[in-house]
Structure 1
Amino acid sequence: MGALGLTETDVRLCEAIAQREPAMRRDMARFVAIPTGHNHTPGLEEFRGLVLERLRALGASARFIPGEPAPGWLWGSAIAGETAIDIPPTVVCERPASGLPSVLIASHLDTVFAPDDPFREYAEAADGRTATGPGVVDMKGGIVIALHALEALEAAGVACSWSYLFNSDEERGSYHSEGALRAEAPRHAVGLCTEPALPGGELAVERGGSGQFMIEARGRSAHVGREFDKGVSAVTALAEALVRVGRMPDAGRGRVVSVGPLEGGSATNVVPDRARAWGNVRYPDERIGREIAADLDALATPEGACPAVEVRRSFNRPPKPLTPAVERLAGLARDSAAALDQRLPFARTGGVCDGNILQQAGLPTIDTLGVRGGGLHTPQEWIDLSSLVERCQLLALVVSRIAAGALAGG
C-alpha cells in the first residue's frame, strides 16, 4: 500500500480491512451457498435477512418498499410460462449523519442461477487465489465488500452518511424495483453500485441503454389438409416482421437489435393463429434509442388487420453518459485507487445495470466498484479473491473521502 495521499486514519482503516480477509472469505462461502435465483423467495428472504442483520447492527434503520408488477409480456413472465411470481420488495437501510453528503450504495441480491442448477457450490482453488460459485462476482462478492467497508468505517470512527439499497430483480431488468430506485436517487449526493469490475479491472464510466420487446402476430387457425385456404398463418406474419427487424441493427452507430426466443404454432397440421418473438435492444444514446423504438413500432398493423402484428416494448435501462458530475466522482475513485497503489482505468461498456436507472433519475453514479473476476452468468463464474480486500479498501476510502468533502464545490 502506498502512503501517498493517505491520512493516518486512512492507513488504519485499510489495515483493519486487510485483517478482515478471513471473515470476508467466510462470508463468501456462506452467501454463495444460499440460492438466490429469480423468483426463489426462500433463498432471497434468507439472504436479505443476513444483510439486514449486519446493517442494523451498525445502527441503520430499514425501509421495505413494495415491488411493482413487471409487464406481463416479458419473456419469463406469466404470459411466457411461469405460473406464479412473487414480487420482492426493495430494501433501503439508512444511517444518515447530519451535515454530510449522503452516499447511496446499491447492490442486488439475485443471481441468474436457479436453485436446482448443478452449478451451486462455492469452491476455492488449491492455491487460494480464486474461487468459483454462482454469483461470486455478480454480485455476492460486491455485497461482501460493501458490508465490510461499512463495518470498518464504523469501527474506525469515520463519520459518514450512507444508505444501502438492495433489490432482488436486477438480473431480470429491475422492473419490480425501478420505482424504488428512481424515488431514492434524488435523496442522495452520489451513487456507488457494487457491480463487478470490467474484465481488465476497469471502472465503467459510460454505459449504453437497453430495452426489451415482444412482437406478437395473430392469424386464423385452420386444418392444413381440409381448409388451408381459410387459415392465416401467424408464423408467416411474424417471420415477415422479423425480416424487417433483421435490417435494423447498425453496428457502426451502436444500434443493436437481437431476436430470441421465438414461439408459434401448436401442431404441424394446424395453421398457426398465434406466434411471438422476444428480443433485446442496445443503444448508445437516447436519440438512437428513439430511432429503434420508432422502427419497432412501425411493424404494427392497423386495428382489425388479419394477420395482425402487435409490438410491445420497454426501454427501462436508459443510457448512462459520462457527465461532468460522474467524471468528478470517477476521478475521486481513481485518485483513491492510486493512493492504494491500485490501477483503476476507465472504460465504456454496452452492459447495463441499476446505475443506468439511478443516474437518469438524477444521481451521479459509478457502478463497477465490485470485485474482480469473470465468467459472469456461466458455470465458470469466478472471483479473484485478492480483490476482496483491495476493492473493500477502495470502496471504504471513496466513501470516507466523499464524507470529508472531496466532491464539494464540484
Structure 2
Amino acid sequence: MDPLKLPFDADAMLAGLRPWIECESPTWDAAAVDRMMDLAAYDLAQMAEIERIPGRMGFGGCVRARFPHPNKGEPGILIVGHMDTVHPIGTLAVLPFKREGDICYGPGIMDMKGGNYASVEAIRQLIAAGMQTPLPVTVLFTPDEEVGTPSTRELIEAEAARNKYVLVPEPARDDGGAVIGRYAIARFNLRTHGLPSHAGARLSEGKSAIAAMARKIIEIEAMTGDDCTFSVGVIHAGQWVNCVSSVCEAEALSMAKTQGDLDDGVARLMALAGEENGVSFEITRGVTRPVWEPDQPGTMAMFEIAKDLARDLGFELTGTSSGGGSDGNFTGFMGIPTLDSLGVRGKGLHTLTEHIEVASLAERGRLIAGMLMRLS
C-alpha cells in the first residue's frame, strides 16, 4: 500500500492533538513538562516500548519510544522533537485552543507539538495498515530545546549516533519547505555590578547597574551585521524603586551562518567585559548550537526523497539552511543525515497568535510516513 494514501484525517488528528495543546508545558516548569510527557507516553504506549528518562538540571524528563521491528537494535531512524514551549502557564487564557476554519490556535501548537503529533500519527497509520518500515524507528521527545538543550544534548547525540537518519518535525518554513542546515547560535549570561545608594536622598552616591546594562544592551545590539546578529531577550534587576540598583543580569543571543562568523562575534562580545565608571560588566558563555553545514551528501539524499514524496502530495518542497536553531544542529553537526522542519505549516510561533493550518497535519503525517517507508 502507498503510505501517501493512508487514511490520515486532519480533523481526527486535531482532536487527538488538543489534549497536548491544553497541557501547557513551559520549559522552566519541570512538573508541567512531565505532565505533557505523560500524555505523549500514553499515546505512544499503544504502539511501542516506552522509556521514561528522568530529568536533570531542574528540567523535565524525556520519553523514548522504540517500535517493534525485526531488526530492532540495529541503526535506523530517529525522530527527535521537543515538548517544551516558550509560553508560561496561563497562556491558554489569552491563547486558547481555538479553531477558525482551517486555522487552529494554541500555545505550542506550531512549535512543535503539531509536528510531534503528526509523527506519532504517521507511525500509528503505518502500524494499522500492517506496513513494516525498512528500518527500526525510535522517537525521542525532550524537555529543554527552547533554552538551548542544556540537559539533553548528550542524550540526543548518543541516540542519533545509534541511527542512520534523523527526522526533526520542527515547524515547516513559510513556504512549507524543509531545513537542510542551520546557523550557529551562542547564548551569553551578562551581569553588571554597580554601587547601591538611596535613590531619593543620596542618588549621586550610587552607580546604577541597570543604567550600565541599558547602555551595554544598546552597544551589543548595534554590533549586529549581515554575518552575525546580537540580541538581548531577558533582563532581571532591582527590588526597590528607591534604591540605586547594585546588580543587573541579562541574557544575550548571537547567531551566525558560519562557525567562523560566530567565533568572531563571540570574541567581539566577550571583549566588552570590564569596568567603567565604577561599574563592572561580566560576560559568561552559555550553551551553543554548532553550525549544521548544508549540502551534506546524506542529508541531500534524504531531501531528494522528501521532494519526490511532496510532489506526489501536490506541492514542491524547498530546502534551505536556516536560523532559529533546533536539535537538528547537533545531529547535522555530527554528520548524521538529518532532515529538519518536517512539521506543520503555520505562523506566529513564540507569539500570542501561534497557529497552524489544520490540513497540514494530514499532509505532514503522510510526508513523514512516506519518509519512514522510503529510508533504508
Q: Per the shorter chain, which TM-score range?
A: 0.7 to 0.9
Equivalence for 1:340: 313
Q: Indicate the residue corresponding to 2:96 in structure 1.
A: 121
- Specify the alignment match of 1:369 in structure 2: 342
Q: 2:123 aligns with which of 133, 150, 153?
A: 150
Does residue 236 of structure 2 align to residue 248 of structure 1?
Answer: no
Separation in 2, partners of 1:141, 1:271: 46
Tell me, yes or no, if the aligned pair for 1:213 and 1:311 is still in contact at 8 Å.
yes
> How big is the shift at 1:232?
4.3
* Residue 110 (structure 1) aligns with: 84
User: What CA distance in whole angstroms lies between the structure 1 residues aligned with 2:7 and 2:83?
Assistant: 23
Check the 8 A contact 1:185/1:362 in 2, yes or no: no
Is the aligned partner of 1:301 residue 2:290? no
How many Å apart are 1:111 and its aligned residue?
Answer: 2.2
Structure 1 SS opposite 2:6: helix
SS of equivalent residue, structure 2 residue 140? strand
8 A contact 1:33–1:120 mirrored in 2 = no
Asked if 1:92 is matched to 2:64, the reply is yes
> Alpha-carbon deviation of 1:14?
2.9
The alpha-carbon distance between structure 1 residues 227 and 111, as it changes in their structure 2 partners (threshold 3 A), is closer
Task: Work out whether 1:61 is the aligned partner of 2:34.
Answer: no
* CA positional deviation for 1:67: 3.1
Conservation of the 8 A alpha-carbon contact between 1:194 and 1:370: yes
Tell me the C-alpha RMSD between the 2 structures: 2.6
- Percent pairwise identity: 28
Q: Which amino acid aligns with 2:291?
A: P
- Residue 33 (structure 1) aligned to one of 15, 22, 40: 22
Whole-Å separation in 2 of the counterparts to 1:224 and 1:138: 44
**Gapped runs of 5+ residues in structure 1?**
1-8, 70-85, 406-410
Aligned length: 369
Give TM-score, length-normalised by structure 1: 0.81
Give the TM-score, by structure 2 length: 0.88
Find the partner of 1:45 among 25, 34, 41: 34
Change (3 A) 1:163 1:222: same
- Once the two structures are TM-superposed, the CA of residue 90 in structure 1 deviates from its matched residue by 2.0
- Secondary structure of 2:158's partner? helix
Gaps of 5+ in 2: none
List aligned pairs for 1:262-301, cutoff 5 A.
262-265=235-238, 270-301=243-274
CA distance in 1, matches of 2:49, 2:280: 52
1:172 aligns with 2:147: yes
1:16 matches 2:17? no
Q: What is the CA distance between 1:22 and its match in structure 2?
A: 4.2
1:191 paired with 2:166, answer yes
Q: Deviations over 1:65-103 (max 9, x none)?
A: 33342xxxxxxxxxxxxxxxx421122212354286500
Amino acid at match of 1:14: L
The one-letter code matched in structure 2 to 1:316 is T
Q: Supply the distance in 2 between the matched residues of 1:291 and 1:209 (Cα, whole angstroms).
A: 12
**Matched residue type, 1:122:** F
